[in-house]
Structure 1
């Protein structure tokens, strides 16, 4: 089967997001900062908001556990936009080559429903996608097979009858790419644009 559509993750593939960008200024000591982002504002906590929990609820829960770090915890979402450095030019270049060749593009991202509007307003490249599944809106997160099923449903509305083997999914998180592969997609673990482009070319895509 030939590839009929490509699905992109956003953070780490197209958009340069990292809590480090904010917390380097708030916690200059690297050891202390590493502890805070591993044990307090950890990714497991972020995923709760990405899965649909409100920022108010998530923040309150974490402050209850770590009251001595209230100011730093509140900063996570109050200054969330400072964690975005911009777009990743090499990832955007891959997207643009596919788009120019007429390959249908879709987005599948773990992202809070409350913060995603900032990205939508500030990164016009997101309007290139025919549809985007935002985890916080559907209350499902990668690598749950259910969110991939939701993505297939959205793609099918544009490309009736499409099969998993006709889809590519690009994600910088290995477990998400592997989840797509386990469902019959072509999961691509994005570690560099050059390697991703090479894999896409192997699949017959014009990059």
Structure 2
């Protein structure tokens, strides 16, 4: 049975692939001749784990130089990851931004963002996307030097903004992060599309 909306006080959003259309494939499809080469590179060279080390506070320079020493034959392509990072941004995801706007306009909820993002590149997003100013608070992993799915990262947001996790909903596109939030005691939605998110929030009485 869906809870009535008065039970929810806070909504926590992930940013990348939920509100911001970020994908390294937008860049590497320009660099490599085939999709297969792009996938090989992202699965074996500039991997998610490598990128998340920068999200957790390692400097872009240190991360890049270390990876170049591991794969010198890919030096130019590795340096492009942060050298041409803006080309991985395709803009906001309009449907989700509209949902965020509705929640903001309702005045019923505190809105937060909890993001795995390098502290060196996040200021670019802050300048690019006005909707990031709509949040009551944003916690960035690169600044805090801790990231999802570590429980302490979720706890950091709760403590900083005095958020009650029992009256909070968390939205993320990464199943690992959603499962971690659920295990931590925060009700969560695995984001698949703006339409799916709208349906799930409506079912909980959060969206009208």
Shorter-chain TM-score category?
over 0.9
- Stretches of structure 1 that go unaligned for 5 or more consecutive residues are 157-161
Question: What is the match of residue 56 of structure 2?
Answer: 51
Number of aligned residues: 202
Residue 63 of structure 1 and its aligned partner are, at CA, apart by 0.2
Note the residue ranges of structure 2 that are not aligned, 5 or more in a row: 1-5
Q: Secondary structure at the match of 1:21?
A: helix
Q: Could you tell me the TM-score, scaled by structure 1's length?
A: 0.95
Is the contact between residue 171 and residue 190 of structure 1 (CA under 8 Å) also seen in structure 2? yes
Shift in Å at residue 32 of structure 1? 1.4
> 1:159 corresponds to which residue?
none
Q: Deviations over 1:72-100 (max 9, x none)?
A: 10000010011000000011011011011
Choose which of 9, 26, 32 in structure 2 pairs with 1:4.
9
Cα separation, 1, equivalents of 2:49 and 2:55: 10
1: CA distance, partners of 2:204 / 2:177: 19
Counterpart of 1:110 in structure 2 is 116
After the TM superposition, which segments of 4 or more aligned residues of structure 1 sit over 6 Å from their partners? none
Query: How far is 1:187 from its partner?
Result: 0.8
Alpha-carbon separation, structure 2, partners of 1:33 and 1:203: 39
3-state SS, counterpart of residue 54 of structure 2: helix
The corresponding residue for 2:38 is: 33
TM-aligned CA deviation for residue 154 of structure 1: 2.2
User: More displaced, 3-12 or 193-202?
Assistant: 193-202
Kept in 2: contact 1:2–1:204 (CA 8 A): no
Query: For each residue in 1:186-205, what CA deviation from the matched residue of structure 2 results, as whole angstroms up to 9, or x when unmatched?
Result: 11100112221222123221
Specify the alignment match of 1:196 in structure 2.
197
Equivalent runs, 1:152-163 vs 2, <5 Å: 152-156=158-162, 162-163=163-164
Deviations 1:38-74 (A, max 9, x none): 1000101000000000001000110000001111100
The Cα RMSD (Å) is 1.1
